[in-house]
Amino acid sequence: MKKILLVCTLLSLSLGKAQMTNVYSYGFDAVFPADWTITNQSSPSGTGAWVKASYTSADTSQNSIFSSGIGGVPAGQSGGNNSFALVNYTSTTGTGTISNWLITPVINVKDGDIISFYSRKGTDGTTDYADRLELRYSTAATTVNPSGGSTGLGSFTNVAVTVNPNLATGFVYPKTWTQYQFTITGIGTTAIPVKFAFRYFVTSGGVNGTNSDIIGIDTFSVDRPTLSISEIDDKSKTIALYPNPTSDFINFKTDAKIIKTEVYDLAGKNVNLPLKDNQLDVRKLPAGQYLINIETAEGKTTEKFIKK
């Protein structure tokens, strides 16, 4: 069995005029397909499970859930009303440990594939009951689903992304749809079968617990950059970042006009930094390593920088 190394921001890919081929996508616009698996392994297990959203505008008790507005129908990151999946504190009873799983079908992936999804908390309230989401993966020849309660992982022993790993309050888990992504490396150019699993994992959860509220996910996608040999060898289209490391600003040296930039932290969370005059202001970023996707008229590239 080969182990996949999933890197959020440590991998720098020079994508040149990269085009993306979609390997797999699911927007949660319809009921989960039969090849998706749902299993609630919370201790103790409650009635709650991963479900597709199915709110109605007539229910005024929704209290602006998922930014719907009172009595409105909540919408996903894309796709319109109810086009997302959700899970909540009813995964366990009383006070317990929530471990509620939503598992994808087999997806064949290889080095360079980019996995992404969006997530957010459902509440628009001011009190934050901490939530946590893991995206795990299994490369086992025969996938073993989690069992035996909240400590059971099955063959999903590898963690790719964790949203709010320390169960911090203060809406570290975002209240707006936020993209998370990571890039696969370490398995070579031949795709192998992998299953991914969203795990809602919260200690001291439930109706009487200090943690757990409601979260949603949307727009799960696996995309494969495709490059021609000439594009890989074309050094004239590279983009230089300077200074790197930096404590205040990132500048770009390129002959092409920069159209768009996206910055991601070590957790794979998109960091909103406006581009102005081919420069990014990073003074408010915590120290650490970041990945930046750069789009120009010539194509796309991904580079790494360090904030001091």
What does the H/E/C string look like for the chain? CCCCEEECCCCCCCCCECEEEEEEEECCCCCCCCCCEEEECCEEECCCCCEECCCCCCCHHHCCHHHCCCCCCCECCCCCECCCEEEEHHHEEEEEEEEEEEECCCEEECCCCEEEEEEEECCCCCCCCCCCEEEEEECCCCCCCCCCCCCCCCCCCEEEEEECCCCCCCCCCCCCCEEEEEEEECCCCCCEEEEEEEEEEEEEECCCCCCCCEEEEEEEEEEEEECCHHHHHCHHHCCEEECCCECCEEEEECCCCEEEEEEECCCCEEECCCECCCEEECCCCCCEEEEEEEEECCEEEEEEEEEC
Per-residue model confidence as pLDDT tens digits over 127-142: 999 999 999 999 888 8
What pLDDT does 108 receive? 94
CATH number of 19-226: 2.60.120.200
**What is the Cα–Cα distance from 184 to 191, expressed in whole angstroms?**
11
| Under 8 Å between Cβ of 214 and 123 | yes
What pLDDT does 226 receive? 74
* C-alpha closest to that of 28 among 71, 69, 65, 77: 77
**119: exposed, middle or buried (C-beta count within 10 Å: 0-12, 13-18, 19+)?**
buried
Every domain range in the chain assigned CATH 2.60.120.200: 19-226
What pLDDT does 274 receive? 85
Q: Residue 62 is encoded by which pair of tokens?
A: 């929704």
What pLDDT does 280 receive? 93
Task: Read off the amino acid at residue 190.
Answer: T
Every domain range in the chain assigned CATH 2.60.40.10: 229-307
What pLDDT does 174 receive? 95
**What is the Cα–Cα distance from 132 to 77, expressed in whole angstroms?**
19
Degrees to nearest 5, angle at CA 248 with 245 and 249 = 80
What pLDDT does 223 receive? 93
Structure pTM?
Answer: 0.72
**What is the Cα–Cα distance from 56 to 222, expressed in whole angstroms?**
31
Please provide the size of the chain in residues.
Answer: 308
Q: Going by DSSP bridges, is the β-strand pair 240-242/19-26 parallel, antiparallel, or unpaired? A: unpaired
Fold of the 229-307 domain: Immunoglobulin-like (2.60.40)
pLDDT below 50 — which residues of the chain? 1-17, 228-236
